[in-house]
Structure 1
Amino acid sequence: MTTRWTPRTSRWIRGTAVAAATVSAITACSAPGGGDAQGATDSVVIGVASEPDTLSPLLGYGKDGNSKIFDGLLAHDADLKLRPALAKALPEIGDGGRTYTYTLREGVEFSDGEPLTAADVAFTYRTILDEKTNNTSRSELDAIEEVRADGDDTVVFTLKYPYAAFADRTVLPIVPEHVAGEQDPNTGSFNTEPVGTGPYVLTDWRKGEKLTFKANPHYWGGAPRVKTVTMAIVEDDDVRATRLRSGDLDGATLPPNLAATFENDDDKKTHEAKSYDFRAVTLPTAGEVTGDRAIRRALDAAVDRRAMVDKILDGAGSPAYGPLPLDDPWFAKGIERERDLTGARRILDQAGWRTGDGGIRAKNGQRASFTLLYPSGDKVRQDHALAYASDAKKAGIEVKVESATWEVIEPRMKTDAVLAGFGSTGDPDFGLYTLLHSSLAGNGFNNMARYDNPVVDEALDTGRRAQDETTRETAYETLQRELVKDPGYTFLTHIDHVYVLADRWQGLTTQREPHEHGFASGPWWNVEDWRPKK
């Protein structure tokens, strides 16, 4: 029997670990797109903090949707409900949830003029699933047993097991086999010279400086009114704010405290987006101190999450008691917890960590001291790291805060703590599995803490494979409660994303956003639909 799939409207969520590439701050005064940014009516220049490592979906770019160069079979609307994109309609589901059939939209072409076919879809998924392809998100497609083209316009996915969230995985961008198939997916020019079906075409990429896109006049969804989009890579928050104020940028992603400085600017508008983006401290199990469960539990009790929201985020966020935000339907009620310094000290006393020199505890000659790294230039993470260190010291744990580039941080993640950011929209499986499953420990930026808990692994496997919603709810509740007992991360805050843009377009909206924001997410997630204000 075949049924029509309809999206669930009440389940969003989650957290997934993907780190953005570091970039150099721009101090030039001329608009990156050329000309006067505020005076243009058909172009926009946006300041963002970082750029992708690659623009190839085969290596993970755009996997959660919103790429301006590519489209998936499906896409998310403003409410994160699934809608058809390259597919004519939502998938037909058969075989008890083990087959998903998509029929492609007619007349879609890649930006080089070649037609989209089902073979391109099959090629995209098969290449990502190939272990030779360096895609660290491959586990997200674990359910796929086979993907095949049935003629030019039909694609059939056969799954190893029914996977409740599979349709949400098909927002993954589709690449042209006739271009990408002729190259090594890991090193080919497609990584920086992409060809897609999306509303925009990349025209220039100056690493660490800017990416420029022009409207695709042959876009199947209609030619965009905004003809040129430039993403200016400006790592430093203060520099982005300065360039926005000077008119060099049309808009920018900003920390809440800097966004507040534009409140009285009549020609600019602030946009806020709720998100699944959270900040957490990874506590590597291989660390001499962080590997001790008592240390991890004490840190969880000692941290003042509410103060971080109020003082660091200026109220634009909420305390994080786990990877899921408080208002998420999957959040386990009752795990909320206030700061408990007395409890933190008691945990350490019972575990044999005794107060020593300078108030720092020690056990068997080992001081309760470890290094916490955060990416250079990220003021919000820096402030979280310093507040965390201050809270930890009150319990007798020394946290030495250090800034570094991601190139320096990555090889040290096994033993040093990191002030990390995670979170993406979708089913809870999407972020929780890559964040916590022991099979992904040390797999790039997946499971950075190398967390290994059999109870959590079982809950993740059940949540991924079960079809019954009650069973899934029980699994994810068990997981969240286990994280309180055995934290591999100290969850700190969930962050609202804040943007400031020149107020001269209509049609701007925000979505519930993932950790990765600024480049694809933001009020410009639907820039192809913007219209100049009259």
Structure 2
Amino acid sequence: MTARSIRAVTAATLAGALAMTAAACSKPGGSAGSSDGAKDSAVVGIAYEPESLSPLLGYGKDGNSKIFDGLLAFDGDMKLRPALAAELPKVSADGLTYTYKLRQGVKFSDGLPFSAKDVVFTYETILDKSTNNAAKTELDAVKSVKAEGDSTVVFTLKYPYAPFAERTVLPIAPEHIAGKQDVNNGAFTTRPIGTGPYVLTKWTKGDKLSFKANPDYWGGAPAVKKFTMAIIKDDDVRATRLRSGDLDGAILPPNLAKAVQAENKKRETYAAKSFDYRTVTLPTHNKVAGDPAVRRALDVAVDRQAMVDKILEGAGKPAYGPVPTDSPWFAKGTERTHDLAGAKKILDDAGWKPGDDGIRVKDGVRAEFPLWYLSGDKLRQDHALAYASDAKKAGIDIKTQAGTWEVVEPRMKTDAVLAGGGSPGDPDFDQYTLLKSSLGGDGFNNMAWYDNKAVDTALEAGRRTNKDAERKAAYTAVQQELVKNPGYTFLTHIDHLYVVNDTWDGLSTQVEPHDHGLASGPWWNVEDWKPKK
């Protein structure tokens, strides 16, 4: 979970198409004017908005940025494939050197050529201390990146970092443009130029991202010529606009997806497995939430399966940490069973005694704290309310409150937050930024200010070796420590649901990160869609 990743920095990624005219907005995906009336445009509804469109600041770092390409990309099965690289990298026997041969003839959308110098510029700029990229710890292993001519790039690592190749899906920025601007505030952050299949035409903040197809894209010009991502933070509004015909597709919570699908058989529902979790931060600096006994009690007081059944309508599974239970990295035996009696005993033994109103008190401190959730996010609201209800049964009074991230962020040091995160692939990707003590207070990294030296040691061990057995042991140790002192109460892992008009062929889903809709969805490969005849 990187800074702003809870809502969008890794807001990581996809984007969408040309600014629509008034007519196109009322009839999204209107006729291309061809003889067969094929559609050449689509409008989809997403829940999150990026803060920046610059990969130098974290945009698109997990892949699928339609403006940019990385050296590598993920296919539909989440296997790495070449993108700006002509082939997969050659890795030295000691795991310290990665050599990439670059694809020839690639141009940025302004017509200037892509070369090795752009790769070097991108990585060196991200690693520069003056660059405000909250995800730079993800590239901590990089010692140097050097160009060998125009078509070869060599990365040298400080230590053998097993998932390094997966980090090179990071989009490449043009040195000739971004290198001449203030990296943190220049025009490139909102008007980017890349090598990707789509070109940004307009970004109306709070409203939509508009793109057009790149006719000179090295992978072939997309059939979807215009693709717009409407930014609609409220779940109910997104559903209403899909019903009304304003949208061709949208991400929806399970109950709304089911209802919208049932109303119109010409829509398809796409379910995507994900690493996306919902969790409650338990701030170390809160006298109640920071108490290990309270944390352990909440961990067993919560009824995760009920949340899956009632809130997600079965579209997900209980979460006991950032690693899903069906992942090979999950530590068996760290599941927590719903046990209200056990929660009460933990609190009793720790000196938290029920008051006259049933709420516990210890040393004059009442067992209560606020829990914030994002305004308009029905899933977070429902999770927050269910969590507070379960906590109250154990004698802990949690006050749920809605707010924007601008309201919530300054309060995160002492107030709990119904947060989200999750990144497919390697366990280092999410656990390090979520749990590393040195990242407490670093934006949306380690939101709970979690501080556990054993976890810190295991996280470093896990990322500094490429030996599977050693890595497995390290991440098992992390998960076991979270049982002893859970700085977060993990609730559910969520399957993402998308409802889309049945107009195009080629739609599919990947295993998805937390930043759903923007980074993923059935439109992760929109450049490959073809109109149905």
Q: Which amino acid aligns with 2:346?
A: I
Q: Which amino acid aligns with 1:94?
A: S
After superposition, the Cα gap between the structure-2 partners of 1:513 and 1:31, relative to the gap in structure 1 and judged at 3 Å, is farther
Aligned residue for 1:56? 54
After superposition, the Cα gap between the structure-2 partners of 1:16 and 1:496, relative to the gap in structure 1 and judged at 3 Å, is farther
Secondary structure of 2:265's match? coil
Q: Which amino acid aligns with 2:100?
A: Y
TM-score relative to the length of structure 2: 0.95
Aligned residue for 2:44? 46
Provide the rounded CA distance (Å) in 1 between the counterparts of 2:402 and 2:175.
Answer: 42
Provide the rounded CA distance (Å) in 1 between the counterparts of 2:313 and 2:300.
Answer: 22
Aligned residue for 2:78? 80
Aligned residue for 2:478? 479
Checking the alignment, whether the CA contact within 8 Å between 2:2 and 2:134 is kept in structure 1 is no
Q: Which amino acid aligns with 2:28?
A: A
After superposition, the Cα gap between the structure-2 partners of 1:484 and 1:31, relative to the gap in structure 1 and judged at 3 Å, is farther
User: Is the aligned partner of 1:430 residue 2:429?
Assistant: yes
Checking the alignment, whether the CA contact within 8 Å between 1:321 and 1:337 is kept in structure 2 is yes
Alignment of 1:457-476 (within 5 A): 457-476=456-475
Aligned residue for 1:12? none
Picking from 9, 19, 30, the partner of 2:6 is: 19
Q: Which amino acid aligns with 2:348?
A: D
Write the deviation string for residues 251-307 of structure 1: whole angstroms up to 9, x where unpaired: 011011000013331211000000000000000101111111000000001000000
Q: CA deviation at 1:519?
A: 1.3
User: Is the aligned partner of 1:118 residue 2:116?
Assistant: yes
TM-score relative to the length of structure 1: 0.95
After superposition, the Cα gap between the structure-2 partners of 1:368 and 1:197, relative to the gap in structure 1 and judged at 3 Å, is same
Aligned residue for 2:210? 212
Checking the alignment, whether the CA contact within 8 Å between 1:91 and 1:100 is kept in structure 2 is yes
Alignment of 1:164-183 (within 5 A): 164-183=162-181
Checking the alignment, whether the CA contact within 8 Å between 2:2 and 2:444 is kept in structure 1 is no
- Count, aligned residues: 515
Provide the rounded CA distance (Å) in 2 between the counterparts of 1:232 and 1:404.
Answer: 21
Aligned residue for 2:146? 148
Checking the alignment, whether the CA contact within 8 Å between 1:134 and 1:186 is kept in structure 2 is yes
Picking from 94, 97, 100, the partner of 1:96 is: 94
Provide the rounded CA distance (Å) in 1 between the counterparts of 2:465 and 2:351.
Answer: 42
Aligned residue for 1:397? 396
Bigger mean CA offset, 177-186 vs 235-244: 235-244
Q: CA deviation at 1:21?
A: 5.8
Provide the rounded CA distance (Å) in 2 between the counterparts of 1:32 and 1:363.
Answer: 63
Identical columns (%): 68
Aligned residue for 1:499? 498
Q: Which amino acid aligns with 1:270?
A: T
Provide the rounded CA distance (Å) in 2 between the counterparts of 1:99 and 1:266.
Answer: 53
Q: CA deviation at 1:207?
A: 0.8
Provide the rounded CA distance (Å) in 2 between the counterparts of 1:16 and 1:442.
Answer: 11
Aligned residue for 1:109? 107
Write the deviation string for residues 28-58 of structure 1: whole angstroms up to 9, x where unpaired: x996854522544000000111210100000
Secondary structure of 2:357's match? helix
Write the deviation string for residues 315-357 of structure 1: whole angstroms up to 9, x where unpaired: 1110001111111010011222221011101111111001103
Provide the rounded CA distance (Å) in 1 between the counterparts of 2:258 and 2:215.
Answer: 38
Provide the rounded CA distance (Å) in 1 between the counterparts of 2:63 and 2:29.
Answer: 29
Picking from 3, 24, 27, the partner of 1:36 is: 27
Checking the alignment, whether the CA contact within 8 Å between 1:31 and 1:45 is kept in structure 2 is no
Q: CA deviation at 1:88?
A: 0.5
User: Is the aligned partner of 1:330 residue 2:329?
Assistant: yes
Picking from 120, 126, 131, the partner of 2:129 is: 131
Aligned residue for 1:362? 361
Provide the rounded CA distance (Å) in 2 between the counterparts of 1:35 and 1:353.
Answer: 58
Aligned residue for 1:236? 234
Provide the rounded CA distance (Å) in 2 between the counterparts of 1:415 and 1:368.
Answer: 14
Write the deviation string for residues 384-436 of structure 1: whole angstroms up to 9, x where unpaired: 00100000001000101011110010010000000000101221111110000
Aligned residue for 1:185? 183
Secondary structure of 1:357's match? coil
Bigger mean CA offset, 218-227 vs 465-474: 465-474
Secondary structure of 1:358's match? coil
Secondary structure of 1:217's match? coil
Q: CA deviation at 1:192?
A: 0.5
Checking the alignment, whether the CA contact within 8 Å between 2:299 and 2:336 is kept in structure 1 is no
After superposition, the Cα gap between the structure-2 partners of 1:31 and 1:521, relative to the gap in structure 1 and judged at 3 Å, is farther
Provide the rounded CA distance (Å) in 1 between the counterparts of 2:21 and 2:293.
Answer: 54
Provide the rounded CA distance (Å) in 2 between the counterparts of 1:163 and 1:499.
Answer: 35
Provide the rounded CA distance (Å) in 2 between the counterparts of 1:254 and 1:53.
Answer: 22
Aligned residue for 2:346? 347
Q: Which 5+ residue runs of structure 1 have no aligned equivalent?
A: 1-14, 24-28
Q: CA deviation at 1:239?
A: 1.2
Alignment of 1:281-320 (within 5 A): 281-320=280-319
